[in-house]
Chains A and B, each alone.
Chain A
Amino acid sequence: MERDDIIEYSLDAHHSEEVGRQIRRKIWQVTLLLAVVTTIEVALGAYWKEWFPNSWQVVKLVYVVLTLIKAGFIVAVFMHLGDERRNIRMIILLPYALFILYLLWIAIWESNYVHRAWEMFL
């Protein structure tokens, strides 16, 4: 059977040397950003407690935000999801967000109760 499904879409992804140069510059910019963010994370983990004891909750929040920033750039630029159509973006992100936000909410909620139950009965 003739494969008419892959050829046309794949050929449309081709680009010139000029466009390629722009894309490569963007790739290296994102690389720099990911490296800097990871370095900040490790530095916070290693030194924050010595400098500012009793404020670890702030760092945890910062970690989650930095992680989401990193993940966003990887998905949007490296995986090219930012260049895809809105249709496909939504069909990938919305079901995932729906399930995981619910799972997160119920896990945080329930683990509070389980924690209290352990404290009470152990």
Chain B
Amino acid sequence: MAGEATKALSKDVLWGGGRSPFSISYGKMMMWFFLVSDALTFSGLLVAYGFVRHSTTEAWPIGEEVFRALPFLHGSYPLIYVALMTAILIFSSVTMVLSVEAGHRMDKKGVIKWLFLTVIGGAFFVGSQAWEWSHFIHGGGGYLIAQDGAKYWVHNDTHDTHDPINAPGFHLQKAVPGHYLFGEEHVEGAAAEAIWTNKVNYVDGANMVRNEYGPPQYANFFFFITGFHGFHVFSGVIINLIVLIMAMQGVFHRRGHYEMVEKAGLYWHFVDLVWVFVFTFFYLL
């Protein structure tokens, strides 16, 4: 397609100086080098996650059991929320590449329109992640370990974890190993209250030390990987916002090209690319 790469250059000119053999500007090349190193960091995190998950002998939580809630709705929607987040990020990536394309035509209005939508999409994604973190930290009711060592899920209608026994609809459910909030028999009434009173331990929500979903490393990796990615999204939104303001002031139009949009776009697409891998290796597998 269009661009420098399609330009025919004879081989002896290429490496002879005065012209980059890569036919790419300094800024774009450095952005690519940064992205390669950043990709190595993210790959390291995901491989470490795989290592821990593969080497552990404890049951590992299942993505579509842990992440199945939607805001304002009750019921079970496995992975729908994460899929929506993925869709938001992919579409903000599309608006970004449309902004870059508009820049190649020196279409200032187009650049501003698509870049603005990109910023909105990115802000939506960061907000969604905040909701997901909050939901993950609060959990779905928690579990208790009874005196005989059995594990019970603690349920009540309001998801109260501070005083669940006095919340409406309080009951217990004997846990099935390896499944989250899944159970065999329900225990209600006085029997449930007796188990609660004599419990050995009660774990609710998630923090860096323990969580109701599974091994502590699960929550640790969730916080670290999605947090590190979320920080990338956040900084990407800030960068896009700065580029948007510069485009609105006509800085790039006076300069004669919109390469800054392209460079910010590379970073933004990379953030989307990382999320594609996080989505697969953390949520789906």
Interface residues of A (CB under 8 A from B): 5-7, 9-17, 19-20, 22-24, 26-28, 31, 34-35, 38-39, 41-42, 45-46, 60, 63-64, 66-67, 70-71, 74-75, 77-80, 83-85, 87-88, 91-92, 95-96, 99-100, 103-104, 107-108, 110-112, 114-115, 118-119, 122
Contact = CB atoms under 8 A, between A and B. Distances in A.
Given A71-B273, A104-B47, A13 B83 contact: no
B251 interface: no
A63 B285 contact: yes
Contacts of A111: 50-52, 54-55
Interface in B239-270: 256-259, 262, 265-266, 269-270
A2 to B, nearest CB: 13
Contacts, number: 197
A60 B87 contact: no
Contact of B83 (A26, A42, A79): A42
B101 interface: yes
Interface in B126-173: none
Contacts of B52: 111
**Contact residues on B (Cβ < 8 Å of other chain), bracket:** 35 or more
Contacts of B256: 7, 10-11
9 contacts: A13-B2, A14-B105, A42-B83, A67-B280, A75-B269, A85-B21, A85-B22, A88-B22, A88-B32
A118 B2 CA distance: 56
Contact of B24 (A23, A24, A84, A112): A84
A9 B24 contact: yes
Contact of B98 (A27, A74, A77, A100): A27
Which of A22, A28, A39, A96: most chain B Cβ within 10 A? A96
Contact of A13 (B20, B257, B266): B257
B227 interface: no
A107 B106 CA distance: 48
A10 B4 CA distance: 8
A103 B44 contact: yes
Contact of A112 (B25, B28, B54): B54
A66 B279 CA distance: 12
Given A38-B90, A63-B284, A96 B24 contact: no
Given A79-B265, A111-B51, 10 more contacts: A14-B105, A15-B2, A16-B105, A24-B101, A31-B91, A71-B273, A80-B3, A107-B51, A114-B51, A115-B56
> Could you tell me the dominant secondary structure of chain A's interface residues?
helix
Given A7-B256, A9-B25, A46-B78, A23 B101 contact: yes
A76 B226 CA distance: 25
Which of A9, A24, A107: most chain B Cβ within 10 A? A9
B231 to A, nearest CB: 20
Contacts of B64: 45-46
Nearest to A22: B1
Contact of B3 (A13, A31, A103): A13
Contacts of A28: 94
Nearest 10 A/B pairs, CB to CB: A15-B2, A114-B55, A10-B257, A111-B54, A10-B259, A111-B55, A9-B25, A67-B280, A88-B22, A12-B4
B276 interface: yes
A64 B257 contact: no
